[in-house]
Amino acid sequence: MRRTDLSMGADDEENEINLTPMLDVVFIMLIFFIVTASFIKEAGIDVNRPDAPQVETPPEEANILIVIRPNDEIWIDRRIIDPKALRANIERLHAENPQSNVVIQVNAKSTNKMLVAVMDASRQAGVYNISIADN
């Protein structure tokens, strides 16, 4: 049997794939993923270090310099200090010069735990003006 031209056109239309429902599903999934995506802000401390020139301070306004080495050794006045005796040393130096501030010079390879311990010891010693400098 021979098909007519009219019936051949109908078969061609039936064989085409309608992409509209698939595009609808893709757009709905896209909206779902955008809405459910979590935008997380990581916790941290923002440190703003000013770019100030080096200024010589008179000895009467000298600060208490605490150096933390890469192996977490604490140095004050060119001496190694035990972390347990840190508060007592800061209290002694602050008693000698009550206007002094604590400057902590930290090496990049030292741990944050030691930095926080030094900051806590200086606050316990009564010194609240603490500055952090890099090595």
φ, ψ for residue 76, nearest 5 deg:
-135, 130
Regarding whether 125 and 73 lie in a shared domain, the answer is: yes
Q: What is the pTM of this model?
A: 0.55
Regarding whether 108 and 71 lie in a shared domain, the answer is: yes
In a domain, 47, yes or no: no
Residue 6, pLDDT > 60, answer no
pLDDT tens across 20-72, in order?
888 999 999 999 888 887 766 667 777 666 665 665 655 556 788 899 999 98
In a domain, 48, yes or no: no
97's CB contacts (< 8 A; 6+ apart) are 60, 61, 62, 64
Regarding whether 77 and 28 lie in a shared domain, the answer is: no
